[in-house]
Amino acid sequence: MGKHYEKHAEAVVNGFLDLLDTEARGQLSQEQLDQLSMMVESAISTAVLDQLEVVADEISDLSAMVRRRAERYEGDEQAA
């Protein structure tokens, strides 16, 4: 994933760590924190891709509407 997602995931993990007391933080290994960071990064990526799919569908619908209007306009022009 992109550096932007990595940095955001790290910020989320660090925010989570700030919520924990010292004893709880001490129970987490670096490997576990790295896994958590990857999970957060994956969640961010999935959310972004889901939204891109929604936008792509909207663009496709808009494209079809523009095509229909253009065809209707051409048909009106030929009738005149």
Domain ranges of the chain: 3-79
Q: What is the mean pLDDT of residues 10-29?
A: 97
Handedness of CA 51, 6, 43, 14 (dihedral sign): negative
Distance separating alpha carbons of residues 3 and 41, to the nearest angstrom: 10
| Tens digits of residue pLDDT in 56-72 | 999 999 999 999 999 98
| Tens digits of residue pLDDT in 37-56 | 999 999 999 999 999 999 99
**Lowest model confidence (mean pLDDT) among 2-11, 17-26, 35-44, 57-66:** 2-11
The pLDDT of residue 78 is above 80: no
| pTM for this predicted structure | 0.70
Distance separating alpha carbons of residues 15 and 46, to the nearest angstrom: 21
- Residue 43: both structure tokens together: 């969640």
The pLDDT of residue 1 is above 60: no
